[in-house]
Amino acid sequence: PSIGVVIPAAGRGTRAGAGCQKAYRRIAGNTVINRVLKLFRSWKTDCPIIVVHHPDDTALLDASVDRDANIYTTIGGDDRPASVLQGLRFLASLDQSPSHVFIHDAARPFAPHQVLNRVYECIVKEPTVGVIPAITVSDTLKKTDSNGLITATVPRDGLSRAQTPQAFELQIILDAHERAALSSTEYTDDASLFEELGLPVRIVAGDAQNIKLTYLEDFEEADRSLRLRNN
């Protein structure tokens, strides 16, 4: 299979503190988005990568990334699926559009190459099956009411936390996103679109390092540990 990458980076990042779009923040001297680009570039040297950004962030993006001829940018939408759809349309419109796409959150700069390899190996074996990395839940899960009091303990058997990159045959996930754009369901990842259509999605082992930077503390912690490792 041939691979392209879509990176939704058009969120506003409000949970990480006012005024900071998380993809453009620097950790240990390098922007989060540039770290994501480097992790894919050092894995597949010439695959097309589409960065989907907010219209207000064009200058910020230009100042944040080391471009090459196969890195493209396009404008996103109001929510994550709308942004992913723009990226998929762009990828499919390229002259040499790839057979498969890896969709990866801009906020996950620490995905190890082993995770990318595990996802890729599945695509090679079963090209029409979607693949996502995930880690099984080890904590006990509690449901709470609006006063913070526990209302239930949720059995964790068979539960996993989904990560990215999530990989699919380009045309199938593009069609699924075109359809989803017409519905009012809120999707927080791409595999759920496959699931809703009854299409198979396989889980491979994710990695605890592959966190989604969300809160201010996530950035502070990442900055500290990268500086310790001189990275």
CA-closest candidate to residue 189, choices 215, 166, 208? 166
Q: Are 27 and 35 in contact (CB under 8 A)?
A: yes
Q: Which is nearer to ligand C5P, 20 or 129 (CB)?
A: 20
State which of positions 165-184 bind ligand C5P (CB under 6 A): none
DSSP 139: S
Cβ atoms 81, 35 nearer than 8 A: no
| Residue from 105, 111, 133, 134 binding ligand C5P (CB under 6 A) | 105
Contact between 10 and ligand C5P per CB under 6 A: yes
Name which of residues 25 to 84 contact ligand C5P (CB under 6 A). 52, 76-80, 83
8 binds ligand C5P (CB under 6 A): yes
Q: Which of 200, 13, 164 is nearest to 87 (CA)?
A: 164
Q: Which is nearer to ligand C5P, 21 or 130 (CB)?
A: 21
Count Cβ atoms below 10 Å from residue 226 Cβ, excluding itself: 17
Applying CB under 6 A, does 191 fall inside the site for ligand C5P?
no
> What is the DSSP code string of 49-116?
EEEEE-GGGHHHHHHH----TTEEEEE--SSHHHHHHHHHHHHHHSTT--SEEEE--TT-TT--HHHH
Q: Which is nearer to ligand C5P, 5 or 52 (CB)?
A: 52
Q: Which stretch binds ligand C5P (CB under 6 A): 5-13, 65-73, 117-125, 169-177?
A: 5-13
Judged by CB under 6 A, does residue 107 bind ligand C5P?
yes
Kindly provide the b/e burial profile for residues 12-41, where b requires at least 16 CB atoms within 10 angstroms of the residue's own CB: ebeebeeeebbbbbebeeebbbbbbbebbb
The residue (of 53 and 100) whose beta carbon lies closer to ligand C5P is: 53
CA dihedral 29, 32, 36, 39 (to 10 degrees): 30
Is residue 106 close enough to count as binding ligand C5P by CB under 6 A?
yes
Q: Does 115 bind ligand C5P (CB under 6 A)?
A: no
| Residue range at the interface with ligand C5P (CB under 6 A); choices 8-16, 43-51, 141-149, 223-231 | 8-16
Nearer to ligand C5P, 2 or 55 (CB): 55
* 6 forms part of the interface with ligand C5P (CB under 6 A): no
Q: Does 3 bind ligand C5P (CB under 6 A)?
A: no
80-93 vs 170-180: helix axis angle to the nearest 10? 140
- Tell me which residues touch ligand C5P (CB under 6 A): 8-11, 23, 52, 76-80, 83, 105-107, 188, 212, 214
